Chains A and B, each alone.
Chain A
Amino acid sequence: MTDQLKKILLGEQGLVVIFVVAFALVSALVPNFLTDRNMLGLLQSVVTVGIVACTMMFCLAARDFDLSVGSIVAFAGMVAVMASNYTGSILLGLLAAIACGAFVGFINGVVIAKFRINALITTLATMQIVRGFALIASDGRAVGIHSPDFYQLALSKLLGIPTPVWVLAILFCIFGFVLNRTVFGKNTLAIGGNPEASRLAGVNVDRTRICIFALQGVVCGIAGILLASRITSGQPNAAVGLELSVISACVLGGVSLAGGRATMSGVIVGVLIMGIAENAMNLLNIPAFYQYIVRGVILLLAVLLDNLRSSALGRR
């Protein structure tokens, strides 16, 4: 009996099993959890983390790291609001935000891949530089949105489900496909597995890494736009600490920090587990201070489980 349980928990789908059990338990024990309204609220609350986690997964899978995501999200949100206020065109504002995100990501990628500067250091630097730009652009103040249509990005619904949740779902699908079914995805995993062997096997390692960071920038741009729309303004101090939540969600989802191992389903589960834990604690009125502790404990447990699973696989 215990052997079978072990096999299920430590198997390929162990995390999904745990997620389903946790979801069922929370649904049964926490009042008002399993209601339409709460479910939608939960999904909306994980949009930013979920979107950014898509490309963070690629970054980690290639043995890289990106700390600048929180700053890029805030900066892109500012750019979206200010550019659309200035030009009067929301579309131009959105394009400007995505272009800025892509640009920062591209710079990250070039510095890391071509100049061989450690990813942690590089993105630690750009994280501060970009946050600085966001603050300078508005002199540290929030910038209000002029056009009410901008709010509609976050408020509008399709088939009863808010647009940002759709965007999140579509990105999950796209990046799941890219990871498993494209040369880019496979090369990313190969680079994470063994960068030198990948280069010698003819993979264009530098270009792939630059692409990953540029994509990360684009996706942060999208997340920044949706966040600005939801909070109805461009906030230079938005999304502080986002990088840690995103990396936690990825690691929770079984992405290896040593590179070479990542699955989209794992990351989705990781994002949802974080969201559910927070949501349930809010519903139970657990004070915010305690929530930090619970989040940390969940992360540690997940990593311990992953460690057990790796050694179980190794013995086979």
Chain B
Amino acid sequence: MSFLDFSHVTKTYPGVKALSDVSFGVDKGAVHGLMGENGAGKSTLIKILSGDQHADQGEIRIDGRVQAYTSTRDAFDNGVIVIHQELQLVPELTVAENLSLGRFPANAGIIAGRRMLDDVGAKLKSAGIDIDMRRKVKTLSIGERQMVEIAKAVMLDARVIALDEPTSSLSSRESEILFSLINRLRGEGKVIIYVSHRLDEVFRLCDSLTVLRDGKLAAHHASLKGVTRDQVVAEMVGREISDIWGFRARKIGDVRLKVDALSGPKLQTPASFEARAGEIVGFFGLIGAGRSELMRLVYGADPRSGGTITVDGKLVRATDPRGTIRAGIVLCSEDRKHDGIIQGRSVEENINISSRRHHTRFGVLNRASEIATAETFIKKLKVRTPSRKQDIINLSGGNQQKVILGRWLSEQGVRVLIVDEPTRGIDVGAKSEIYELLYQLAQDGMAIVVVSSELPEVMGICDRILVMCGGRVSAELTRDQFAERAILAAALPDQKTPDAIAS
């Protein structure tokens, strides 16, 4: 039995089996890699380890003892600390204060500043972390903040430390410091779980590796000796494509959407691409690769700082959604709850919110046409709702997505439809209905852009795939060139220039 044991861990979310029967063990003084595609179950596993979520079945054992904690606080007290991508520090407090938070040395409620500095200083020194304790956290770089997070774990005498994509926002120099710190912690006999997309880091740092795929254990390597990178990529991908996509070839016409050197505050590198009438273009990449940012720029949701957009050869001057909708570009956002549905309002109002302007007179609604439009699209898109008056919040995710699609399809002049993660959190049946709809719309001459983090999905439904990585388009493949490995390789951050990703 290993020091840290995951035993038959299973977790189900409504409609999705996030983890099923995952078991593996990690020894003391080892750095253990955890890899997998987006949605493979890594975050869920880490959340269960950190006490944030509770496993439906199975258990976690540390040093042979079953961990029955129910909160992150409990996990803390049991020596398990997870360091997330978003760091949990108080910016206005100093490093020393952050490290003593919740355990201030005090006399009658008055903080003993001297003692605090001495305690923290001794710990930092023994861990080999070199940071000025008196500085406020808000003045530190991201890399330094990460050090403070790790110092927190050291202060608490953590036995298990999990790091979730720790280098995603670090420069290569900062990464080096992190690696030497991790090596030191390994020497002290800690268990370190290292979640990363970066193969070279994993191979350099880790003693052992677990690969997850679709919530299941795809591979467990107790040692990385003799394991090749290709082998790991194959384990991450490794599923067969079954034809739930029902792809249909279409006639592809002239260029409809042309995006040229578009850039904005959240997308520094100018990006260009085209989409033709009748074509379905896929954008694949890891989370944070810049796909959604690019689409928001095209749609005018965020201000753009450079570049041009043309639709059917006509320059789109508008820089807000109001204008781009009128130019024929519409977007179904990735975050349906925050950017899509209008909570508290009916399905009917959610459908009509934009297209009603075609039917109003002096700002007065045309009730008959609003009702007709709502009924038409509820029927056409098979939205399952008791009535058009139902509050949209009460509909399932798939049906909310259909209502948003209905909102845009009721606009008559749509030429470019952008859908960002159209099937996230949607059950299989609704998925194929949405694919079918996309084929139909493309058939009718729309240019369709699909952003997805699910590789099989983009491969299944798109005519062409653009891969993004670190804010730039890293590869473009036509349907006959589709190959999982090539696409995934282009999506994984380039090992030679980690700084480019950080910037």
Q: Hey, which bits of chain A sit against chain B, CB under 8 A?
A: 181-184, 186-187, 189-190, 192-194, 196-204, 256, 259-261, 313, 316
Distance, CA A186 to CA B394, complexed state (A): 20
User: When the two chains form their complex, are residues A183 and B360 in contact, meaning their CB atoms are under 8 A apart?
Assistant: yes
Q: A183-B363, A259-B344 are in contact. List 5 more A-B contacts (CB 8 A).
A: A182-B364, A187-B353, A197-B340, A200-B301, A201-B342
Q: Hey, which bits of chain B sit against chain A, CB under 8 A?
A: 299, 301, 320-322, 325, 331, 333, 338-345, 349, 352-354, 356-357, 360, 363-365, 367, 391, 394, 407
Our pick among A194, A201, A259, A261 for the contact of B407 (Cβ within 8 Å) is: A201
Our pick among A183, A184, A202, A256 for the contact of B321 (Cβ within 8 Å) is: A202
User: When the two chains form their complex, are residues B364 and A200 in contact, meaning their CB atoms are under 8 A apart?
Assistant: no
A204 partner residues in chain B, CB cutoff 8 A:
322
Given contacts A193-B343, A260-B344, contact A201 B363 (CB under 8 A): no
Q: List 18 A-B contacts (CB under 8 A).
A: A182-B365, A183-B363, A186-B365, A190-B349, A192-B344, A193-B345, A197-B339, A199-B301, A200-B301, A201-B321, A202-B321, A202-B325, A202-B353, A203-B322, A203-B353, A260-B342, A260-B343, A313-B391
Distance, CA A260 to CA B333, complexed state (A): 21
* Residue among B338, B342, B363 with max Cβ neighbours from chain A (10 Å): B342
Least Cβ–Cβ distance between A251 and chain B, in angstroms: 16
* Chain B, Cβ-Cβ closest to A199: B321
* Chain B, Cβ-Cβ closest to A177: B364
Distance, CA A202 to CA B331, complexed state (A): 11
Distance, CA A316 to CA B386, complexed state (A): 11
Least Cβ–Cβ distance between A33 and chain B, in angstroms: 37
A200 partner residues in chain B, CB cutoff 8 A:
299, 301, 321, 331, 333, 339-340
B363 partner residues in chain A, CB cutoff 8 A:
182-184
Least Cβ–Cβ distance between B290 and chain A, in angstroms: 19
- Return the 8 tightest CB-CB contacts between A and B, nearest first: A260-B344, A193-B342, A202-B325, A193-B344, A202-B354, A202-B322, A194-B342, A201-B353
B331 partner residues in chain A, CB cutoff 8 A:
200
* Residue among B321, B349, B353, B394 with max Cβ neighbours from chain A (10 Å): B353
User: When the two chains form their complex, are residues A198 and B342 in contact, meaning their CB atoms are under 8 A apart?
Assistant: yes
A184 partner residues in chain B, CB cutoff 8 A:
363
A313 partner residues in chain B, CB cutoff 8 A:
391
A194 partner residues in chain B, CB cutoff 8 A:
338, 341-343
* Chain A, Cβ-Cβ closest to B356: A183
Distance, CA A186 to CA B359, complexed state (A): 14
A181 partner residues in chain B, CB cutoff 8 A:
364-365, 367
B353 partner residues in chain A, CB cutoff 8 A:
186-187, 190, 198, 201-203
Least Cβ–Cβ distance between A64 and chain B, in angstroms: 16
Least Cβ–Cβ distance between A85 and chain B, in angstroms: 38
* Chain A, Cβ-Cβ closest to B333: A200
User: When the two chains form their complex, are residues B345 and A183 in contact, meaning their CB atoms are under 8 A apart?
Assistant: no
* Chain A, Cβ-Cβ closest to B301: A200
Least Cβ–Cβ distance between A265 and chain B, in angstroms: 17
User: When the two chains form their complex, are residues B354 and A261 in contact, meaning their CB atoms are under 8 A apart?
Assistant: no
Distance, CA A181 to CA B349, complexed state (A): 12
Least Cβ–Cβ distance between B342 and chain A, in angstroms: 4
User: When the two chains form their complex, are residues B365 and A183 in contact, meaning their CB atoms are under 8 A apart?
Assistant: yes
Distance, CA A185 to CA B391, complexed state (A): 17
Distance, CA A126 to CA B424, complexed state (A): 46
Distance, CA A274 to CA B322, complexed state (A): 42
* Chain B, Cβ-Cβ closest to A259: B344
Our pick among A186, A197, A199, A316 for the contact of B341 (Cβ within 8 Å) is: A197
Given contacts A189-B345, A260-B343, A260-B345, contact A201 B354 (CB under 8 A): yes
Least Cβ–Cβ distance between B331 and chain A, in angstroms: 7
User: When the two chains form their complex, are residues B338 and A197 in contact, meaning their CB atoms are under 8 A apart?
Assistant: yes
* Chain A, Cβ-Cβ closest to B324: A202
Distance, CA A189 to CA B354, complexed state (A): 14
B356 partner residues in chain A, CB cutoff 8 A:
183, 186
B343 partner residues in chain A, CB cutoff 8 A:
193-194, 260
Distance, CA A1 to CA B357, complexed state (A): 47
Least Cβ–Cβ distance between B308 and chain A, in angstroms: 21
Distance, CA A193 to CA B347, complexed state (A): 13
Distance, CA A261 to CA B343, complexed state (A): 10
Least Cβ–Cβ distance between B400 and chain A, in angstroms: 11
Distance, CA A190 to CA B341, complexed state (A): 10
Distance, CA A224 to CA B402, complexed state (A): 49
Least Cβ–Cβ distance between B409 and chain A, in angstroms: 13
* Residue among A181, A193, A198 with max Cβ neighbours from chain B (10 Å): A193
* Chain A, Cβ-Cβ closest to B336: A197
